[in-house]
Structure 1
Amino acid sequence: MKFVIGVDLGTSAVKVILLNNRGEVFSEISKEYPLIQEKDGYSEQDPQEWIEKTTSAIRELVETFDGEVSTIEGISFSGQMHGLVLLNRDNKVLRNAILWNDTRTTEQCRQIYDLVGKEKLLQITKNPALEGFTLPKLLWVKQYEPEILSQASVFMLPKDYLRYIMTGNIGSEYSDAAGTLLLNVAEKKWSEEICDLVGIDKNLCLPLVESTAFVGTITKEFSEATGLSATTKVFAGGADNACGAIGASILSEGKTLCSIGTSGVVLSYEEEKNRDFEGKVHYFNHSKENAYYTMGVTLAAGYSLNWFRDTFAKGEDFGTLLDGLADVPIGANGLLFTPYLVGERTPHADSVIRGSFIGMDASHRRIEFARAVIEGITFSLRESIEIFRNSGKTVDTIISIGGGAKNETWLQIQADVFNAKIIKLTNEQGAAMGAAMLAAYGCGWYPSLEECANQFVHYDKSFEPISSNVKKYNQLFELYKQVYTQTKELNAGLKIFRKGEI
């Protein structure tokens, strides 16, 4: 029997899974690491934490593996997108990584529009200038830490730095590069024009390959640190959302994914490289060769529920927190939540907006607040689905993964809010599964990613929309959409009172 490892380098933890060539998960290990948030809107991590926790997780996986280590043939990666890792000429990290959910770069987004122009930026990168992307972070360092940028020889994305430590080889791939605002998405090459316009040296950009590309074997040092064979093949890997799509078999036209992790994503497969959504949703290269996907993002999806638990039910598991969820009526007895805890991305590219509970009274219980949080997250994701539908895409069946797929009441809420059939997977492993599938395909186990998905990905239950619920949620959704416009000015005024702003 043969095996591969999938590594998902997430925002709060690294997840490592071991699969055999039948797609069966033999082992799964996660290791958490902290965020560094010195000011409101700042979000950083020490890249050394990624290395130490990933090394530890793989070592633990190998120690508990009762087969021949040489049968672990390959390893590949999924990684949190957009993060900025700067290395000097000795390939040493120059500062903490600035992460995707860091929102300090509003000023730099304006600079990009001034220097490049919104129309040209959308034409080349297919995406608007948003705080989460990598280019605004580079410009922030250029403006506020010029001594750091002057020492930099290359910038990396998080999983690319991890792969460099494993192999000694520097490079990236198209799906992650698409989230930098420096890639010509259709032509699959770094845009010299944008680099020139914003004053970023193109030599800072990594060589690019396909996500399935073989990029070397692990180093002797990493072999000794983990117990893996030095012959273990390493494949480039992909952005977390692209890998999540592969792990849910979103590999052909008509397939849509809802993924609720720290952030929430609604993602739909695309074959055309030049579709125009006018920047309303993201348009990225897929980890499947010569394919694309369009995507809407809720910045604080699962994070909103984690925040609610940690603030009001610290120490409880989600099963206890959500006990009785199904007994709460639609609309949580008149309570509405908007999940703008760290700003929002789709359809409101707004780093200043913050969350709200609307309609609170003394009769509301904790479980009703929890239901309102879950409904608010789902409404936010529906806004992306509305953009897809308004562009002519059919969205009638959605595969749901992540935290939103772990509770059947929430799955039914998704079916009713989205007015679509929701499918739950039997062996859902998210982006880690997609990373493992890239390794399996790279090792030559299957002639295509689609055939790999047929073996690795299996459907479990489905949830159909209930027409009476759909009608109620449509009414509630109209109210939800008003909250952003009616609190935007209030949140702008409150900004000066936030931590780190006074």
Structure 2
Amino acid sequence: MDYMIGVDIGTTSTKTVLYDLQGQVVAYANKEYPLYQDTPDMAEEDPNEILDAFVSGMTEVLRKADLTTGVLRGVSFSAAMHSLIALDENYQPLTRVITWADNRAEKYAAAYAEDGRGMELYRRTGTPTHPMSPLYKLIWLRHEEPELFAKAKYWVGIKEFLFNRLFGVLKEEYSIASATGLFNIFDLDWDEKALQAAGITRNQLPELVDPEYQVTGLNPAYAEVMGIPVDTPFIMGASDGTLSNLGVNAIEPGVVAVTIGTSGAVRVVVDHPVIDEKGRVFCYALTKDKWVIGGPVNNGGIVFRWVRDQLFSPEKVTADLMHADAYDLITKIASEVPAGADGLIFHPYLGGERAPIWDANARGSFFGLTRTHTRAHMARAALEGIVYNLYTVMLALEEVAGKSKEIMATGGFARSALWRQMLADIFESPVTIPQSFESGCLAAVVMAMHSLGLVDDLTDIKRFIGETKTYQPNPANYEVYRELMPIYIRLSRQLQTEYANIADFQRRHAKD
């Protein structure tokens, strides 16, 4: 048996999946690491902890592979977007990984949004004006950390850091590059105006390559630990967002992919770059001739983690003692509450928000709370709030890309029958869930197989997705959501007038 490995470098964990050449999962590993949030706006990771997680995951899944009779044909990557690491002249990190969830560049992004410079850059790069963007992180660091900024020889993301450690190269593929705010999506090259705004040169950035680019010559020390040949091809792969569409075969016009992992997104593939004159959606490259437009949200599964840790900590302890999944227990509790949570609405902005409001100061809130509401209501309202927010992104996307004809959904949330039904009910549309939950890993593998000549076209992924299940909207539920959605949207607009004030209060008091 020959094998392929797909690796998904996520915000809170790295997932590694070993496949056979028919797309069947042979082994799976998930290695978590902390997200450092020392201040309200910080969201960082340790690059070496992520490297360790990658090596550990590879080692674990390869124990299930018989490389005495089979061959590991390739390893390919999906990775979170918008990460930024400063490296010195010896390629040693000067910072931790500054992730997409880090909002410390907020005032610089806001300044660019207010005077129109942000929209001008968005029209060239497809990256909305928001502190998630490495462009605005660089502007922030140049102003607030000038000594660090001057010391930095190179600027990379987490995938580029891993490839540098594993192979000693500094390369970045179009898909990840197109989410930096520094890349011209029309020219497929670093954008000179964006580089000028950031205050860096192209010599400080990796060499640009195709997502199907192959790298060989693995560092022998890592090859020995993982137990693979040094000439094993590693394929660059692409970003987690764009690969999520490929991973559920949502690459035809009008087929929408909805993803909820730690964060979430609504996306559709187009055959040319598309810019939204309201600046609400991104446009990133998947390959050199396919682009993905959509809207990302900060607050997906990370909100459910907050519910688990802060509202249901006793249940978490109990579940841990019983070797059970606390999320399953909380979902069961939430499912006993009717659709609409008896009029309790939750805005899930626990870490600012990207689409559709693009406000790094956004904060979460419960609305409609009464004495009759319980923790179960709060859990259900939190889950519904995540989906409400994704639905508002869908409304914006349809303005730009046209009406959707089919919805494919994936991500960690797809394990929950409650969330799957909730998505169908709130979107009032059939929702199809593929059997493979780790769509990013599968898509990375199919991209690698195309690079290696093992499949003829990326659309061949439909052969590997396996069985799917379609959830139909429940009329009784969507009637309730039809009443609540307008209230949710109006509240978002009204509360937005105070987000900056409460965020400023929190920042000032966090420093005291």
For normalisation by structure 2, the TM-score amounts to 0.93
Bigger shift: 153-162 or 324-333? 324-333
Match of 1:237 in 2: 237
Task: Return the match for 1:480 from 481, 485, 488.
Answer: 488
Alignment of 1:406 with 2:415, yes or no, is yes
Q: CA deviation at 1:143?
A: 1.5
Alignment of 1:209 with 2:209, yes or no, is yes
Change (3 A) 1:116 1:237: farther
Match of 2:15 in 1: 15
SS in 1 for 2:332: coil
SS in 1 for 2:231: coil
Match of 1:298 in 2: 297
Q: Per chain length, whose mean CA-contact separation is higher, i.e. which structure has more relative contact order (CA < 8 Å, sep 6+)?
A: 1
1:84-483 matches, cutoff 5 A = 84-112=84-112, 117-286=117-286, 288-314=287-313, 315=316, 316=319, 317-391=326-400, 393-451=402-460, 453-483=461-491
Change (3 A) 1:374 1:154: same
Could you report, residue by residue, the CA deviation over 1:424-469 in whole angstroms, capped at 9, with x for unpaired residues?
1112213122222222222221011111x02211242101223343
Bigger shift: 196-205 or 328-337? 196-205
Q: CA deviation at 1:282?
A: 1.0
Q: CA deviation at 1:277?
A: 4.8
Q: CA deviation at 1:402?
A: 1.3
Could you report, residue by residue, the CA deviation over 1:225-265 in whole angstroms, capped at 9, with x for unpaired residues?
21111121011111111122221112222211111011111
Q: CA deviation at 1:306?
A: 1.0
Match of 2:39 in 1: 39
Aligned residues: 500
Q: Decide whether the 8 Å contact of 1:396 with 1:420 is kept in 2.
A: no
Task: Return the match for 1:492 from 500, 504, 511.
Answer: 500
Bigger shift: 212-221 or 470-479? 212-221
SS in 2 for 1:51: helix
- How many angstroms apart in 2 are the aligned matches of 1:105 and 1:69? 52
Q: Decide whether the 8 Å contact of 1:244 with 1:433 is kept in 2.
A: no
- How many angstroms apart in 2 are the aligned matches of 1:343 and 1:283? 21
SS in 1 for 2:234: strand
Change (3 A) 1:456 1:486: same
Which residue type is aligned with residue 328 of structure 1? V
Q: CA deviation at 1:112?
A: 4.2
Aligned sequence identity (%): 28
For normalisation by structure 1, the TM-score amounts to 0.95
**Structure 1 stretches of 4+ moved >4 Å:** 111-116
SS in 2 for 1:500: helix
Q: Decide whether the 8 Å contact of 2:122 with 2:181 is kept in 1.
A: no
Which residue type is aligned with residue 425 of structure 2? D
Q: Decide whether the 8 Å contact of 2:268 with 2:292 is kept in 1.
A: yes
- How many angstroms apart in 2 are the aligned matches of 1:501 and 1:440? 51
Change (3 A) 1:116 1:183: farther
Bigger shift: 390-399 or 82-91? 390-399
Q: CA deviation at 1:488?
A: 2.7
Q: CA deviation at 1:375?
A: 0.9
- How many angstroms apart in 1 are the aligned matches of 2:430 and 2:466? 16
Q: CA deviation at 1:5?
A: 0.8
Q: Decide whether the 8 Å contact of 1:172 with 1:209 is kept in 2.
A: yes
Q: Which runs of 5+ in 1 are unaligned?
A: none
> Considering only aligned residues, what root-mean-square deviation do their CA atoms show, in Å?
1.9
Which residue type is aligned with residue 360 of structure 1? L
